[in-house]
Structure 1
């Protein structure tokens, strides 16, 4: 995934302007000129990987309760757009399969985050990787998680798929830590990106993709510092800022 240009990943699609983690949001990110999208995956009660961020359905749908307690058929009846604005009513929670099938026909890179920090979701790594392999998308996917055991399991199952360490606080030598668990890249919370981190990752030739970078000044600064990518709720704005810098 190397390139000298800082790539733009739309966070949950284009979460600033469309309901997050829906097909309309992913289409908006594609239309913005972003090179990638970031999305979150959990498992339904019947073990199907679906694209949704919160462990509970309450915030982003008209449903209530835990994702894990609903079968796919029930999840598919929920409105995942109206909470954002009426114009998006009737948007559905996509399955990972639907999302990867759609992305296959584009040039987008996919950053798929395992939402396993609180709920372990037994078998999620294999379910996600099987889906990626079914569409022959291994070389266009980055798997990330705050639960680094998920990254270890993913690497054991598919060593050819890039894994990325998500983290919120400053770590000592995060690059060498990532290498230890066979992760090829770092996805830090953007305010903790400093010269120490960038120096280490440059030496290791390791990609750094900070999240969630929405302020114009921060977008500009991280592009100028040469980050491999940034993850943002406003991909159209970030693409514009990058063009102005270039």
Structure 2
């Protein structure tokens, strides 16, 4: 294995085995040894940032409600974990439901959990766009980072987005917070490379890196670190190691950490 061991970041928590974005999924990731946690944030109707990927709750909480039209107290009544294992009642091994671990998770709770943890854990926070609240999402996010003192140099938090405008907002509000420009399509790189900040990190998807073998090298040659999503297989990890990727975002943090340990042992 090369000299750079990438940071292992749990995508929506340890979401391969647990309901994504629940505190249970993040605790499982921490227990597995994940060095970073990734989350998506959306703003509720009453102004709270919650860790949810989709704009509505059909997939994860059996509700047609949009996050932006729903208050936090209403979200708190919903079941965010049963969709992952609908047969849990028949499974003797399934953990008992726990309201603290399985309900909707606010960003504030996640940040405070990480801040209280007994080792440094980094948090990669993705803002979703377009959204009816526009730049309010980034303003609220920076407020939350200030609340835990993570808007300063050396912050364990970084902000990610597919929206260049959103990252510009964060740069103005909290210039010391690292930024990750996410890329869904390789064809966008030629334009983005002229727009993004010199020290911004670039976050391409593993699918694009696999299908466009020159993309990763083009990004690193332009002087940007790579953080790659979503890396779930050994072949995908090997490609990231070959490219000198600094962080791999994975649904399976325990598995990827084991793979890296095995490669370290072989190299040693």
After TM superposition, the score normalised by the length of structure 2 is: 0.84
Q: Secondary structure at the match of 1:101?
A: helix
List runs of 5+ in structure 1 lacking aligned partners. none
Contact 2:10 2:37 in 1 (8 A): yes
CA RMSD of aligned residues (A): 2.0
How do 1:201-216 and structure 2 match up within 5 A?
201-216=219-234
Question: In the TM superposition, what is the alpha-carbon distance from 1:118 to its structure 2 partner?
Answer: 4.9
Contact 2:40 2:128 in 1 (8 A): yes
Aligned to 1:145: 161
Provide, for residues 101-143 of structure 1, a one-character-per-residue CA deviation record: whole Å limited to 9, x for no partner: 0011232110000012354444110101110111012311110
Question: In the TM superposition, what is the alpha-carbon distance from 1:221 to its structure 2 partner?
Answer: 2.3
After TM superposition, the score normalised by the length of structure 1 is: 0.91
Aligned to 2:91: none
Contact 1:104 1:137 in 2 (8 A): no
Pick from 131, 146, 154 the counterpart of residue 133 of structure 1: 146
Q: 1:214 to 1:130 in 2, by over 3 A?
A: same
Aligned to 1:78: 78
Contact 2:4 2:241 in 1 (8 A): no
Deviates further, 145-154 or 233-242: 145-154
Aligned to 1:95: 106
Question: In the TM superposition, what is the alpha-carbon distance from 1:200 to its structure 2 partner?
Answer: 3.8
Q: Secondary structure at the match of 2:228?
A: coil
Aligned to 2:15: 15
Deviates further, 39-48 or 108-117: 108-117
Distance 2:130 2:228 in 1: 19
Question: In the TM superposition, what is the alpha-carbon distance from 1:183 to its structure 2 partner?
Answer: 6.0
Question: In the TM superposition, what is the alpha-carbon distance from 1:204 to its structure 2 partner?
Answer: 4.4
Contact 1:7 1:230 in 2 (8 A): yes
Contact 1:175 1:200 in 2 (8 A): no
Question: In the TM superposition, what is the alpha-carbon distance from 1:99 to its structure 2 partner?
Answer: 0.6
Provide, for residues 70-97 of structure 1, a one-character-per-residue CA deviation record: whole Å limited to 9, x for no partner: 1111111111111112346441111111
How do 1:54-69 and structure 2 match up within 5 A?
54-69=54-69
Question: In the TM superposition, what is the alpha-carbon distance from 1:161 to its structure 2 partner?
Answer: 0.6
Provide, for residues 2-30 of structure 1, a one-character-per-residue CA deviation record: whole Å limited to 9, x for no partner: x9321111100111011001101011111
Q: Secondary structure at the match of 2:47?
A: coil
Distance 2:42 2:116 in 1: 24
Pick from 176, 179, 191 the counterpart of residue 193 of structure 2: 176
Distance 1:95 1:244 in 2: 36
List runs of 5+ in structure 2 lacking aligned partners. 89-93
Aligned to 2:252: 234
How do 1:107-122 and structure 2 match up within 5 A?
107-122=120-135
Contact 2:217 2:243 in 1 (8 A): no
Contact 1:145 1:164 in 2 (8 A): yes
Q: Between Structure 1 and Structure 2, how many residues are aligned? A: 243
Distance 2:180 2:195 in 1: 8
